[in-house]
Structure 1
Amino acid sequence: MDASFRCLYFLVLLLLTTSTAIMGNSVKSEFPEALSSPAETTSCSNMVDGKVDCSHRGLTAVPKNIPTTVRILDLSHNKLSTVTPDAFDGLKKLQILSLSYNTISRKSIVMELFKDLANLEELYLNHNQVNKFYENVFTNLGNLKILDLSDMNNGIVKPIPREVFAPLKSLTDLRLNNDLLPSFNFLPEGALPKLQKLELARNGISIIAEGDFKYLKGTSIDNLDLSGNDLTSIDPSCFSGLKLLNFINLKQAIHSEDAIAQVGTALKEVHVTNMSLSMIGLTNLTDDTFNTFEGVPLEALDLSLNNISHIAGAPFQYLTQLGEINLYKNFISNIGPDAFSHLGNLRTLDLSNNSLTKLNETTFQSLTESVLRVLYLEINRIEAIEAGTFHGLGQLEFLKLSRNRLTQTIFRPGIGRDA
C-alpha cells in the first residue's frame, strides 16, 4: 500500500469514527433525557375543555404549572401526603377539585389551602388520612355544593366541630361514608339550609335516638343514606321535622323483623316515597312484614338481593301507593294468590333472577286490578307458562322472559287481553 493510499485510508477511518461518535452523542443527549424529563411526567399544563387531569401520575407534590383558567382539576390516585397552603393560589376559576385517593393528612387541610377557591362547587377529599378537621377549614368555600369526606383515616374520624360546616351555606350534597363518626351532633340546627343529600353509610350506627337528626331540621334534605350500618333501635320520632325527606337507603342496614317494624313507625313522621331494603336478609314476605307501614306513602320499594323464597298472604296490603317493586335476585319459587293484592297503582314489577319454575293463572291473579305495564321475569327457571297466566293484565306493555328454560308456552300475542 503506497503512502498516498494509506493517508486516504486513515482519513476515511477518522471521518467514520468521528461521525459515529457525533451521532451517538446526539442520540444520547436528545432522546433518553427527553423521555425521562420530570416536566413530561409531572406536567399539569395540558388543559382540555377547562379540565386538567393529573390523576394516576404518582405525584408526591402538586405541580406548579397548572393553568390559572382551569375549571376542573383532578389530582386523585396519586401519592400526595402533604399539600402546601399555596398549592392552589391563583386558581380563582376552579369549580371542581378532586384530591381523593391520596394519603393527605390533617396538617395539609387548612383554610389557607382554599383561600383563592371562592368559586369552588365540588370538593372530593375522600380516601385520605385526615382524622380531624380544623374549625375554620372551609371558611372560604361559600359556593361549595358537593363535599365528599368519606373513607378518611381508615374509617376513624374524631368528633367534627360543629363550626366546620357552618360556612357552607350552598352545600347540597354531604358525604361522610365509612368514617365511624362517634356522634350525629356535628351540625348546628339549620346550618345547611340547602342540603338535599346526606350520606352516612357504613358508620357503625346501631341506635338512632330521638333528636339525632334535629340538625337536619330547616334543611332541604330529601335523600338520606344509612346503608351498611347495623340498626337495632330506631326511635319513632327520629325523623320528625324532615318534611322534604323523599328517599331513605337502608340497604344492608337492618337485620330483623323488629327493626323493619321500627322503620315503618318512624317513617309515619315524614313523606318518604322511595326506600331501599336491599340485602337485609329477608327470607319470606307475609301479611305482617309491613304492617307498621300503613299510611306511609311509599311509591317505590327495593327488596333486591335478599333471601326471599316465598311470598305468602298479602304482604303489601299496607303499601297501597306502591308503583314499583324490585324483587331482583332473591330465591322466590312460590307466589301466593294474594301476593300483590291491594296494589292498584303498581306499574313495574321486577321478579328477575329468582327460582320460579312454572307460571299459571294464579301467579298474577292479584294484579288484575293493577295498572301493571312492565314485568321482568328473565333469569328464572321457568319451564312452562300455562294458559291464563297473564289474564287480566290488560295494560301490560313490556314482558321480559329471556334466559329461562321454556319448553311450553300457551298464550297468544295479546298478552293481557285474552290470554
Structure 2
Amino acid sequence: MIYEWFTKINPDAEIIFFNDKTIAIHEILIPYRLKCIQTCLSLGSTCQFFQYKNKVLCTIFNAIEKDSFYGNSNLYLREKKLPRIYFKNGSFLDQNQLLNISTNIRIDIYQSGLSLIGSFAFEKCKEIQTLNISYNNLTKIYSKSFYGMTKMIQLFMNSNQISELESDVFQDIPLLNYLSLNSNLIKNLDGNLFDYSKELVFLNLGFNQIECLNQGIFKNLKKLKRIIINNNKLKSLEPNFDNLESLEQLDLSANKIFNIHSDTFNSLTKINRIDINNNLIPEINSETFKGALNLITLKILVNNIQKIHRNFSTNVPNLEDLDISFNNLSTIEPDIFNGLIKLKYLGLYSCGLKIIDFSSLVNLKSLTLTLNKIEFFSQNLSLLLSLQLNGNPLTNLTLPLITSQNSILDFLDISQCNLKYIDLNILRNFTNLKSLRIGTNPIKLDNQTFIGFQSLKQVDVDSPDVERFKNLYPNINFY
C-alpha cells in the first residue's frame, strides 16, 4: 500500500526535513505542473522534491540542503508513506533490506541520519522484538510505521527531533512493554496515544517539552510500573494517573510544577518511589501525597517549599527515604517528622533549620544536616550510622551528639562548624566510628587528639596537619 502527496514548502518556515547537500537529478521544460508531478513519480524514489518555476521549468531533486529552502518559492516536498525508511542523505531501505539487516530478533538503526519511516516499512519484520532508532532525525511518527511487528516488545526512539506522533501509531505493536521517547521535541501527547499499549511496563518521556498531560492518557496502562517525565514543562499535576494500578516509580523531576492536586496520587496504591525534585512546589499539605500509602522513597529537594503540614506523614507511613534538601524550612514545626517511624534516610541539606526534633525517627540510619543554622545538636538516635553536621555554627561540642547508649555511628562530619572546643571523649564514645571529618575548624588539634578511638580508619583534617598525624597514627588514613 502506497500513499503519495506533494506539499508546497513555505520559503519562510523553519524546515526540519532537509539534507546534507542538494542533488538535482533532472530538469525539463513542461507547460503544466501536473506534468512535473508525473515526471517526479516516473522517477520512483529518487525524486524527493520538485520545483516548478515560471510555469515552464521543472527541476527534480533527490535531496535539498537546508539553506536552499529559504527564499525559494514553488518548491514541493514529496511526502510519501512508501514501505521504506529514508535517510537525510537521500538514501533509503526497503522492506527486504530491513529484513536483511535484522539480527535475529533485533534491528539497530541508531545514529544513522534516519529522517522518515514510511507506513508498512517494517511489515516483513514479523519476528523482531527490539527496534532501536535512537539518535536520528525523525520529526514525525506516522500511523502504520510499525505495522507487521506484532512481536515487538522494546522500542527506542530517544534523541530524535520528534514533535508529533499520530494517535494510533502503537496500534500494531500490542506486546510493547518498553518505550523510550526521551530527548525529543514533544509538546503534546494525544489522549488516545497509548490505547493499544496495554502491556507497557516502562515509559520514558523525559527531556521533551510537554506542558500538560491529557486526562485519561494513561487509562489503559494497568501494567505500567515506571514512568519518567522529567525535564519537561509541566506546571500542574492533576489526577492523570488514576488507572495505573501497577505503577511503582514516577519521576517528575525538573519540570515547573507549582501545584499538586489532592487526588494526583490517590489511586497509586503500589507506588514506592516519587521523584519530584527541581520544581517550584511552595508547600506540602496534608493531602499532597494522599493515597500513596506504600511510598518508600520521596525526593522533593530543590523546590520552593516553605511550609510542610504537620499531618503530611499520615499519608506516607511506610516512607524510608526522604530528601527535602535545598528548601527554606526555617519556619517549620520542630516535630514535623513525627509519625515517620520507618524512616531510614533523611536529607535536609541547606534548609535554614535552627531547631528540629528527630526523637520519633527510631529507625533512622543516615541524617544529612549540612549547611543549616543549627547551633546545638543532641538526639536519641540509637540506629544512626551516618551523621553530617558540616557547615553548621556549632562552635562548642560539650554534650553527646547521640544520647542513646551503645551508639553504632560509623561516619561523622563536623567540618566547617566553627568549632573552637570539642570534648574529645564525646567522639571517643563512638566505638564504631570509622570515618571522621573534622577539618576547617578553628580548633587546635594536639598530638594526643586521636588516642582512644577504637575503630577509626580515616580522618579528614586541615592539610597542614596531615603529615604530622600520619606519622603519629600509621593505622589511620589522614587526608
Residue 79 of structure 1: how far off its partner (Å): 1.4
Contact map agreement 1:81 1:105 (CA 8 A) in 2 = yes
Match of 2:402 in 1: 366
Given the superposition, is the C-alpha separation of residues 128 and 45 from structure 1 closer, same or farther in structure 2, using an over 3 Å criterion?
farther
Match of 1:222 in 2: 272
1: distance between equivalents of 2:271 and 2:356?
33
Matched, 1:196 2:248: yes
Match of 2:385 in 1: 347
Residue deviations 1:163-196 (CA, integer Å, cap 9, x gap): x21111100112233444465335374x111111
Contact map agreement 1:51 1:72 (CA 8 A) in 2 = yes
Residue 277 of structure 1: how far off its partner (Å): 0.8
Contact map agreement 1:367 1:393 (CA 8 A) in 2 = no
The AA in structure 1 aligned to 2:335 is: N
Given the superposition, is the C-alpha separation of residues 46 and 247 from structure 1 closer, same or farther in structure 2, using an over 3 Å criterion?
same
Structure 2: any 5+ residue segments left out of the alignment? 1-88, 457-479
Matched, 1:388 2:388: no
Match of 2:297 in 1: 247
The AA in structure 2 aligned to 1:322 is: L
Matched, 1:232 2:273: no
Where do 1:14-33 residues align within 5 Å? none
Residue deviations 1:216-260 (CA, integer Å, cap 9, x gap): 32631122222222222443233333221222221112342xx1x
Residue 334 of structure 1: how far off its partner (Å): 6.8
Residue deviations 1:180-217 (CA, integer Å, cap 9, x gap): 4465335374x1111112223344332335x3326x32
Given the superposition, is the C-alpha separation of residues 370 and 250 from structure 1 closer, same or farther in structure 2, using an over 3 Å criterion?
farther
Q: Secondary structure at the match of 1:60?
A: strand
Matched, 1:208 2:260: yes
2: distance between equivalents of 1:88 and 1:207?
38
1: distance between equivalents of 2:399 and 2:125?
64
Structure 1: any 5+ residue segments left out of the alignment? 1-35
The AA in structure 2 aligned to 1:219 is: T
Residue 341 of structure 1: how far off its partner (Å): 0.7
- Which has more helix, going by share of residues? 1
Where do 1:25-64 residues align within 5 Å? 52-62=107-117
Match of 2:474 in 1: none
TM-score of the superposition, structure 1-length normalised? Answer: 0.69
The AA in structure 2 aligned to 1:79 is: N
Where do 1:264-283 residues align within 5 Å? 264-271=310-317, 272-281=319-328
Identity of aligned residues (%): 21
Given the superposition, is the C-alpha separation of residues 236 and 255 from structure 1 closer, same or farther in structure 2, using an over 3 Å criterion?
closer
Match of 1:24 in 2: none
Q: CA RMSD in A?
A: 4.0
Q: 1:316 aligns with which of 318, 343, 358?
A: 358
Q: Secondary structure at the match of 1:267?
A: helix
- Which has more strand, going by share of residues? 2
Residue 355 of structure 1: how far off its partner (Å): 4.4
Q: Secondary structure at the match of 1:174?
A: strand
2: distance between equivalents of 1:138 and 1:155?
16
Q: 2:167 aligns with which of 106, 110, 116?
A: 110
Q: Secondary structure at the match of 2:451?
A: coil
Given the superposition, is the C-alpha separation of residues 225 and 357 from structure 1 closer, same or farther in structure 2, using an over 3 Å criterion?
closer
Matched, 1:142 2:163: no
Residue deviations 1:124-172 (CA, integer Å, cap 9, x gap): 12233333333332122111111122343x3434x5031x211111001
Match of 1:399 in 2: 435
2: distance between equivalents of 1:109 and 1:220?
31
Give the length in aligned residue pairs: 355
Residue 313 of structure 1: how far off its partner (Å): 5.1
Match of 1:94 in 2: 152
Match of 2:454 in 1: 414
Residue 393 of structure 1: how far off its partner (Å): 1.7
Residue 58 of structure 1: how far off its partner (Å): 2.9
Q: Secondary structure at the match of 1:280?
A: coil
Match of 1:300 in 2: 345
Match of 1:160 in 2: 214
